[in-house]
A and B are shown apart, each in its own frame.
Chain A
Amino acid sequence: MTNPDMHIENAGLRGSVPDLHGHHVPARRYPLNETVDAVVVGTGAGGAPLMSRLARAGLRVVALEAGRHWAPARDFATDERAQSKLFWNDERLSAGEDPISFGNNNSGTGVGGSTLHYTAYVPRPQPDDFRLCTEFGTGVDWPLQYADLEPYYDELERFLGVSGPSSYPWGPPRPAYPLAPLPLNGAAQLMQRGCEKLGIRTSPAANAALSGSYYQEGVGWRAACTNRGFCQAGCNTGAKASMDVTYVPLGIRAGAEIRAESFATQLELDKAGRVTGVVYVRDGMEYRQGCRAVFLCAGAIETPRLLLLNGLANGSGQVGRNFMAHTGLQIWGQFEEDVRPYKGIPGGLISEDTHRPADADFAGGYLLQSIGVMPVTYASQVVRGRGLWGKALRRHMLGYNHAAGINILGECLPYEGNYMELSDELDARGLPKPRVYFTNGENERRLTAHAESVMREIWGQAGALDVWAYPRNAHTIGTCRMGTDPNNAVVDTDGRSFEVPNLYISDNSTFPSALSANPALTIMALALRTADRFLERARRLEA
């Protein structure tokens, strides 16, 4: 950090960005009148790896990010309320029988996107997840297979510094995780105890948080996790592999420009139907950045919203369709033991024994996970889930230090009736608010019922008192499906639009099915793959 110039390999350093501690790091800036090679919209798990890959290949890249560029050690408080600044708080309308909550549940803002508040839980999907229709005759197959993404999973786990077991009990053979597992907290120990009695195998989970200090190529040393347990409201030590401390600095060092607090509103096209520039709003002023290609990485709501607002890339009629959200039922209990659920990596323990349960009456499966929790989130779930109020609520909350949870991450099928659309209500920016319809289908209800019974048994065996269930769905998936047929998909397997040849999508919106694993690792893998395919294509065209 002594010589800031060491951080930059390119000339033209007129800007600067904050590092973890708020020190200024010089960064490249591109003039507005220059046509850059790529504009990337969004800097989360999709945008950050992609822009960094393109910049390292020598491309001139500008990434637009609606939120701020934080310096976590300086700006992040260990306080849930203060940290609501990390959530996408522009209002969305939640419709259907099982309305999805947005904001803190699944949507982020700021350089790093939702990875600023993801739990860092990074299990790989299993190969059969990509072939759900072949296996069950329902849902859809991916046009890509596990083998297509496997090298990227290997690369990501190495680069991010994933902590996990040396030998993972489920799925195909894979390299040992680069770092030893993080220590188990109270909830993880309780889940281990309950599962042991039932003969359910468990393992320390794969978490993208460092169990030891780690040298990251192109970024430098990152310090080990201090067990703050605050992943879901912002890591202030840089131990969690959010994009702002991994791919974003890597990309900036390679010459990418991050333009924070810049909200993309329009894609400009020439007569041939190619994108020529992106219009965005910053501080109430409109700007235009010319570009040769655009990559939409704004997530499964904002990406289709931008396309619908611009009437683009929707010849298939699939933009906004096939919205999915993982089944995410939580089972809570209070224990005689002191749990102090605010400490340690929240998702310490995993079981994938329920990946394809023998007695299942549904397609797909789920994984099991222990969960820690912060007090405001816990209280909020107690009132929404149980309806406790008055003295009963305050009395229940006196047991917060004894609370522990387990939850599932389960398959969710696409349905005709689950989609997002533009409403006729305008937000503060003067743009139509998105409306999202979501109703769990029969498959999700059966899967959830199976999981509820398994988890209640585990918690019973672990010694839980006062057990209760909190139904929820997590993550935003689908809405710009990837496929091989332009009639029923928005992008091809490279993430490239079937209609606008220099428009790509790289985020959770392209997932054809939900996969029974947390999405972040796969979003990143697809982002690296899309970048590689784009670069190969450019090389082919040059040759």
Chain B
Amino acid sequence: MQPEIYPSGTVRALLETDYVTPKTREVLQARLTPGGSQSPRFFDAQALATLRAACARLIPQTDRTQPVDLAGAIDTRLADGKGDGWRYNTMPPDGEAYLLGLRGLDETAQGRFSVKFALLDTGKRDEILTTVQRGEVAGGAWEKLPPGRFFEELLAELTECYYSDPITQEEIGYVGMADAHGWQAIGLNEREPREPEALGETHD
């Protein structure tokens, strides 16, 4: 099945209507407002550069005019000491896990290609990320951190952040936030006028 493409601007237009509750509008509009480039509060410049280089491969956004600041969101969460209610017992606390994992990416990059992770081309970064995902790295930071779990946690956090973005939600044709009057057409192939129709299939 070919993935579909949806028109842009749908969610932003709906936010101006009474299909969206005031609380939903408040939350989504705040997320659409660029925060400006703040200096990191949790990571140092080196760790942040490594994180950004990983984010760019895990969730590539080269097609986005307003990319979601995924690394910044993680920095904010860790600086605020927020969590999601659990962590794998085999993992150190979130902040420590991130610092170890990013150090591990750099160590593996140094070991294989003699440069820091952020300086690698996209193919080599993907190669390293794949070996981390498969747990096929060892030594250094990875002695204190299960690589596969680190990869899973990093990827899940980035993904949840990316798909919480209203413009990403336009991209996948999601308008569930426009529910202030509820939904009547809920069966298969049933669509209400405010739900966007796919423009066609992508062939990238």
- Our pick among B155, B159, B186 for the contact of A183 (Cβ within 8 Å) is B186
Residues of B within 8 A of A92 (CB): 85-86
B183 touches A343 (CB 8 A): yes
Residues of A within 8 A of B185 (CB): 343
Residue of B whose beta carbon sits closest to that of A342:
B176
Distance in angstroms between the alpha carbons of A92 and B169 in the assembled complex: 31
Residues of B within 8 A of A81 (CB): 27, 31, 160-161, 164
Answer whether A384 and B187 are a contact pair too, CB < 8 Å, given A376-B164, A398-B3, A398-B202.
Answer: no
**Stretch of A95-103, A247-255, A510-518, A532-540 with 4 or more beta carbons under 8 angstroms from chain B:** A95-103
Answer whether A230 and B179 are a contact pair too, CB < 8 Å, given A375-B172, A394-B60, A397-B163.
Answer: yes
CB distance from B80 to the nearest CB of A (A): 12
B83 located at the interface, meaning its Cβ lies under 8 Å from any Cβ of chain A in the complex? yes
Residues of A within 8 A of B114 (CB): none
B87 touches A400 (CB 8 A): no
CB distance from A115 to the nearest CB of B (A): 17
- Our pick among B86, B89, B174 for the contact of A102 (Cβ within 8 Å) is B86
Answer whether A390 and B183 are a contact pair too, CB < 8 Å, given A400-B172, A466-B1.
Answer: no
Residue of B whose beta carbon sits closest to that of A465:
B1
**Stretch of B18-26, B38-46, B97-105, B137-145 with 4 or more beta carbons under 8 angstroms from chain A:** B18-26
Residues 201-237 of A at the B interface (beta carbon under 8 Å): 225-230, 236-237
**Stretch of A136-144, A149-157, A330-338 with 4 or more beta carbons under 8 angstroms from chain B:** A330-338
Residues of A within 8 A of B172 (CB): 375, 397-398, 400-401
Residues 370-400 of A at the B interface (beta carbon under 8 Å): 374-376, 379-380, 382-384, 387, 389-391, 393-400
Q: Please, what's the 1-or-0 string for B1-33, where 1 marks a CB less than 8 Å from any CB in chain A?
A: 101110000000000000011011011100100
A263 located at the interface, meaning its Cβ lies under 8 Å from any Cβ of chain B in the complex? no
Q: Please, what's the 1-or-0 string for B44-60, where 1 marks a CB less than 8 Å from any CB in chain A?
A: 00000000000001111
B176 touches A78 (CB 8 A): yes
CB distance from B15 to the nearest CB of A (A): 11
Residues 428-444 of A at the B interface (beta carbon under 8 Å): 428, 435
B191 located at the interface, meaning its Cβ lies under 8 Å from any Cβ of chain A in the complex? yes
A454 located at the interface, meaning its Cβ lies under 8 Å from any Cβ of chain B in the complex? no
Residues of B within 8 A of A390 (CB): 57-60, 126
What are 11 of the A-B contact pairs (CB < 8 Å)?
A: A77-B21, A93-B88, A94-B88, A186-B188, A225-B182, A226-B182, A336-B1, A338-B189, A338-B191, A398-B3, A399-B4
Q: Give me the interface of B with A, judged by CB distance under 8 Å.
A: 1, 3-5, 20-21, 23-24, 26-28, 31, 57-60, 81-90, 93, 126, 129, 133, 152, 155-156, 159-164, 169, 171-174, 176-177, 179, 181-191, 195, 198, 202, 204
